Amino acid sequence: MTAQIISGTEVAAQIRQELEQEIVELKDKYNITPGLATVLVGEDPASQVYVGQKQKTSLALGIYSERHDLPAETSEEDLLILIDKLNEAPRIHGILVQLPLPKHINETKILYAINPKKDVDGFHPVNLGRLMIGEPDYLPCTPHGIQQLLIRSGIEIEGAEVVIVGRSNIVGKPIANMLIQKTEGANATVTICHTRTIDIALHTRRADILIVAAGKPKAITADMVKEGVVVIDVGVHRIGIRKESGKSILCGDVDFDAVKEKAKAITPVPGGVGPMTITMLMLNTVRAAKLAAGLA
Ligand code: GUN
């Protein structure tokens, strides 16, 4: 079987085009420019790249964006003061605090401090709770990106056996909650596997749709999937550097070359889930601006 390669780059470009139009309309009709503040604490190179990409995409779409880069030794108190300021700032509709935070800062406390109406990551307990009961304001970006990739690639989700590997608050738990909802683009039967699952392959082999956010390079091998599976790979790992270009060589949580021989459709790394995550952050920022103006 030759797998359909699900291009996150292409689907993301399509959604960005739709967003660009919405942003122009907001500006023309209501004189509103959506605004995003990113907060980065410390010098983690991967986080710096992610925040840089979020800033660049905001500017390209016509979103006002503010970058707050703080030293690693910033105190929890000072970070809370900045968040309070951003909660009050009228130009800022969305606040994104890049994770992970340095060890001396309590992540939960910081996420609670963000005004849920400005929580464009969808990580605040209020937003996660609303998602769970089927009344979401903001969907977390990576799960929302995964759902849109499936829908826009014509994959049937209703009634599918979905198996998720990984139970993080950022990906595994929210995507499971989204796909069991009684709504369009959901109504799946969902299993979540994790580090204490006795026999992961027993579950993954049953999957019609396999979503992998295990955080382990090439953890899913060809013997662990059935013929015709649809595979969404959330992992990103740097496994080397290209001599010629100095660019990173990346791989996902799935052994792509082997699994694509059995899959009906599969996302690549890079160019799969990654571009979708950033795009859904932009979508949430536009939504935040509309909600603040009573337009959504
Ligand atoms: N770190 C890894 N993924 C994410 C994300 O989606 N949002 C934030 N804020 N931090 C992250």
Give yes or no for residue 121 CB within 6 A of ligand 1. Answer: yes
- DSSP assigned state of 227: T
Distance of alpha carbon 65 from alpha carbon 54, whole angstroms: 9
Which pLDDT value is given to residue 72?
98
Flag whether pLDDT at 1 surpasses 80.
no
Give yes or no for residue 99 CB within 6 A of ligand 1. Answer: yes
CATH 1.10.1740.110 for domain 30-116, yes or no, is: no
Report how far ligand 1's centroid is from the alpha carbon of 111 (Å). 12
List the structure tokens of 138.
């903001």
Sorted by sequence, the CB contacts under 8 Å of residue 80 that are 6+ apart come out as 109, 110, 113
DSSP helix/strand/coil, 29: helix
Q: Which residues lie across from 5 on neighbouring strands?
A: 266
CATH 3.40.50.720 for domain 141-275, yes or no, is: yes
What are the start and end residues of each CATH 3.40.50.10860 domain in the chain? 30-116
What pTM was estimated for this model as a whole? 0.97
Nearest CA to ligand 1 atom 4: 99
Maximum alpha-carbon separation in the chain: 56
Percentage of the chain modeled with pLDDT above 90: 99
Report residue 2's pLDDT band, with 50, 70 and 90 as the boundaries. Answer: confident
Strands 64-70, 248-251: pairing kind: unpaired
Percentage of the chain modeled with pLDDT above 70: 100
Give yes or no for residue 141 CB within 6 A of ligand 1. Answer: yes
Flag whether pLDDT at 289 surpasses 90.
yes
Give yes or no for residue 98 CB within 6 A of ligand 1. Answer: yes
Which pLDDT value is given to residue 181?
98
Nearest CA to ligand 1 atom 9: 98
Report how far ligand 1's centroid is from the alpha carbon of 170 (Å). 8
What are the start and end residues of each CATH 3.40.50.720 domain in the chain? 141-275
Q: What is the helix (H) or strand (E) element at residue 82, kind and residue range?
A: helix 76-88
pLDDT, tens digit, 9 for 90 and up, residues 153-194: 999 999 999 999 999 999 999 999 999 999 999 999 999 999
